[in-house]
């Protein structure tokens, strides 16, 4: 068992950290919110005073942060990871950020003799709690192999997809597919309800065919029960889609459907739904047609 640093104890970070401790690892933690640090320490973690303090005590530092600016600040900023990290140590950044930022932070770390992989996750809070996250990793194969056992404590699927930044590129691909899947589900079920068909019957009829998907199976019951408690908030999906559009611009890759779903989610945010689960994307289509997709009690 190892001593591992963990920075970022949000709704994903806390259960991920808990799973590392359940597996027998000692975990040294830091977060800007002291209350969440105290919560994790009460469960067996050890508190540090700064990212640099975390890095000075371990050889592997996991970061799980909201977006690109926070990762840059925590790693490269004052009292950041690179101020305290030992040469040869490795940063495992599990945040969902822009691939270009992952490369920038990697280069800064390399200049200090510190290694880095980007390892964003899919599966949301339920996956973090159950340790069933899908983890897509970018980096050197040797670095990946050194970290894979730790990653498998937090996820059920851990795949090396390419060099640094590739992990976040694949995560953006994932987020585009998920968002557009939910949008298609909302538009289709809206049509069915408008025509007077039971939406649960539509789901049961098509889920086993080509239109079926993990997204449909996970999100349709939530929609039918009008349960939009996150899960994965629309606000966070907006962030990921913005990173996808930024990356598309950098690569000269037009993403017209991604641009459309970005506007749909932004409209929902304006209406106060930013904190809702992204399954609430369906409500955009409901409002256009003045219907509600809900379970019918027979």
What is the full per-residue pLDDT of the chain (298 aa) written as tens digits?
A: 899 999 999 999 999 999 999 999 999 999 999 999 999 999 999 999 999 999 999 999 999 999 999 999 999 999 999 999 999 999 999 999 999 999 999 999 999 999 999 999 998 888 999 999 999 999 999 999 999 999 999 999 999 999 999 999 999 999 999 999 999 999 999 999 999 999 999 999 999 999 999 999 999 999 999 999 988 899 999 999 999 999 999 999 999 999 999 999 999 999 999 999 999 999 999 999 999 999 998 7
**Are 192 and 102 members of one domain?**
no
**Are 194 and 251 members of one domain?**
yes
- How far apart are alpha carbons 233 and 38 in whole angstroms? 25
**Are 100 and 21 members of one domain?**
yes
Q: Is residue 294 part of a domain?
A: no
Please, are residues 120 and 171 in contact by the beta-carbon 8 Å criterion?
yes
Domain end, chosen from 130, 163, 196, is at: 163
pLDDT tens by residue, 64-122: 999 999 999 999 999 999 999 999 999 999 999 999 999 999 999 999 999 999 999 99
- How far apart are alpha carbons 265 and 284 in whole angstroms? 8
| 3-state DSSP assignment of residue 63 | strand
Residue 273 neighbours by CB distance under 10 Å: 20
Catalytically annotated residues: 171
Confidence (pTM): 0.93
What pLDDT is recorded for position 1? 86
**Are 220 and 268 members of one domain?**
yes
Bridge-based pairing of strands 121-122 and 133-138 is antiparallel
**Are 240 and 142 members of one domain?**
no
Residue range of the domain that includes 260 = 169-289
Please, are residues 19 and 131 in contact by the beta-carbon 8 Å criterion?
yes
**Are 112 and 173 members of one domain?**
no
Domain end, chosen from 163, 195, 222, is at: 163
């Amino acid at each position: 068992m190892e001593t591992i640093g963990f920075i970022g104890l949000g709704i994903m970070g806390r259960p991920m950290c808990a799973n590392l401790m359940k597996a027998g690892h000692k975990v040294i933690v830091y977060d800007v919110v002291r209350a969440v640090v105290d919560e994790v320490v009460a469960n067996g973690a050890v508190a540090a005073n700064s990212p640099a303090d975390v890095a000075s005590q371990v050889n592997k530092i996991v970061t799980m942060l909201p977006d690109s600016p926070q990762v840059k600040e925590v790693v490269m900023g004052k009292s950041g990871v690179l101020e305290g990290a030992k040469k040869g140590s490795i940063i495992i950044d599990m945040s969902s950020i822009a691939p270009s930022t992952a490369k920038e932070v990697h280069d800064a770390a390399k200049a200090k003799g510190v290694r880095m992989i980007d390892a964003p996750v899919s599966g949301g809070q339920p996956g973090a709690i159950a340790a069933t996250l899908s983890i897509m990793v970018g980096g050197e194969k040797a670095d990946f192999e050194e970290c894979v056992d730790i990653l498998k404590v937090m996820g059920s699927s851990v795949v090396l997809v390419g060099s640094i930044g590739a992990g976040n590129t694949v995560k953006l691909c994932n987020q585009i597919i998920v968002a557009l899947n939910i949008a298609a589900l909302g538009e289709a079920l809206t049509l069915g309800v408008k025509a007077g068909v039971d939406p649960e019957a539509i789901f049961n009829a098509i889920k086993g065919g080509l239109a079926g998907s993990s997204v449909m199976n996970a999100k349709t019951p939530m929609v039918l029960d009008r349960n939009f408690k996150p899960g994965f908030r629309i606000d966070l999906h907006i962030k990921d889609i913005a990173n996808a559009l930024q990356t598309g611009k950098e690569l000269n890759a037009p993403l017209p459907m991604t641009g459309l779903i970005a506007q749909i989610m932004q409209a929902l945010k304006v209406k106060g739904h930013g904190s809702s689960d992204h399954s609430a994307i369906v409500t955009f289509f409901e409002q256009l047609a003045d219907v509600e997709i809900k379970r019918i009690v027979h």
